[in-house]
């Protein structure tokens, strides 16, 4: 079975702080895909990144970076110098051929204050 | 803007009623997915269509049904509505049927908020 665990339910930081959102996944598939989505207060789900299981390179996009570690089945997301606009719920998701669907974690609510 | 369009954005209806949620996928996308987001269940996969054919089925109730039309838009029909069906319903789309395909990212619409009273 596929499972995604986001142990941090809620995180509060002050603007300009760095913050890391944890994601741990479980699957027996050797090929799989990991995603991060952002859900701002308005409700839409915004795609942030897609990572293949065979590509363990970390990725950086502006203030966002992702650390994929197969050895620990983790795909963590770091926001550097957080801003109020980063306040949202962030979801990690796993896609496998076995499940043939995106399995989401329960999300981490990030609150960035001034 | 993801390019996935959902209507209506908000809907309030009474128990026992039937509603239809509509989704237009991104231009060029052949695959449509429906997800339900509720407070107690989180984000749950309901069903997927690819080029008009049902491809995968998740936790979709028998009272719910969906279809994808020749122009690739999709509709999710919810009938005999119960209070517990109140949720945010997302449509998503992708180019391919299978997200293992290279470059197959799943983009979500803004969702349809359904409130059953």
- A44-102 per-position pLDDT tens digit: 999 999 888 888 888 888 999 999 999 999 999 999 999 999 999 999 999 987 777 88
Query: Which residue from A46, A50, A106 is facing B42, i.e. has the nearest CB?
Result: A106
Q: Which residues of chain B does A102 touch, with a Cβ-Cβ cutoff of 8 Å?
A: 33, 35, 45, 99, 106
pLDDT category of residue B100 using cuts at 50, 70 and 90? low
Q: Nearest CA to A23 among A82, A70, A62? A: A70
Residue in chain B closest to A106 (alpha carbons) equals B42
Question: What contacts B40, CB < 8 A, 6 or more positions away?
Answer: none
**Interatomic CA distance for residues A99 and B58, integer angstroms:** 9
Q: Is the pLDDT of residue B96 over 80?
A: no
Report pLDDT digits (tens) over B42-72: 999 999 999 999 999 998 999 999 999 999 9
Please give the residue that has the higher pLDDT: either A109 or B39: A109
pLDDT of residue B99: 62
Q: Which residues contact B62 (CB under 8 A, 6 or more apart)?
A: none
pLDDT the model gives residue B9: 96
CA atoms within 13 A on the CB side of B103: 2
In the three-class reduction of DSSP (H, G, I as helix; E, B as strand; rest coil), residue A86 is classed as helix
| pLDDT score of B102 more than 80 | no
Residue B23's pLDDT band (cuts 50, 70, 90): very high
Look at residue B1 in the predicted model and tell me its pLDDT.
82
Peptide bond just before B8 cis, omega within 30 deg? yes
* Close Cβ partners of A100 (under 8 Å, ≥ 6 residues apart): B48, B55, B56, B98
- pLDDT for residue A34: 93
Task: Kindly report the nearest CA distance between residue A113 and chain B, in angstroms.
Answer: 24
> A11-47 pLDDT, tens per residue?
999 999 999 999 999 999 988 999 999 999 989 999 9
Q: B52: alpha, beta or left, given left = phi > 0 and alpha = psi -120 to 50?
A: left
Q: Looking at chain A, which residue has its C-alpha nearest residue B111?
A: A44
Nearest to A45 among B42, B58, B90 (CB): B90
Q: Cβ of B100 under 8 Å from any chain A Cβ? A: yes
| Residue linked to tokens 């620990």 | A72
Choose the closest CB to A44 out of B35, B45, B108.
Answer: B108
The pLDDT score that the predictor gives to residue A52 is: 87
Are residues B56 and A100, on separate chains, in Cβ contact within 8 Å? yes
pLDDT of B35 reads 97
């Amino acid at each position: 079975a596929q499972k995604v665990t986001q142990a941090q339910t809620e995180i509060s930081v002050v603007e300009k702080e760095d913050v890391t959102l944890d994601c741990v996944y479980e699957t027996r598939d050797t090929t799989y895909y990991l995603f991060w989505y952002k859900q701002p207060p308005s409700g839409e789900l915004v795609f942030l990144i897609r990572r293949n299981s065979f590509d363990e390179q970390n990725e950086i996009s502006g203030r966002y970076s992702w650390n994929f570690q197969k050895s620990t089945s983790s795909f963590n997301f770091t926001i550097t110098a957080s801003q109020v606009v980063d306040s949202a719920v962030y979801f990690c998701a796993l896609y496998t051929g076995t499940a043939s669907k995106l399995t989401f974690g329960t999300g981490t609510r990030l609150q960035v204050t001034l | 803007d993801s390019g996935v369009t959902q209507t209506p954005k908000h809907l309030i209806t009474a128990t026992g009623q039937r509603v239809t949620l509509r989704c237009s996928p991104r231009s060029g996308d052949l695959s449509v997915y429906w997800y339900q987001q509720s407070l107690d269940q989180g984000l749950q996969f309901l069903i997927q269509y690819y080029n008009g054919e049902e491809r995968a089925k998740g936790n979709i109730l028998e009272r719910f049904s969906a279809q994808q039309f020749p122009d690739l838009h999709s509709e999710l029909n919810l009938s005999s509505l119960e209070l517990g069906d109140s949720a945010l319903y997302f449509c998503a789309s992708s180019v391919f049927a299978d997200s293992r395909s290279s470059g197959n990212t799943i983009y979500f619409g803004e969702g349809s908020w359904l409130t059953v009273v």
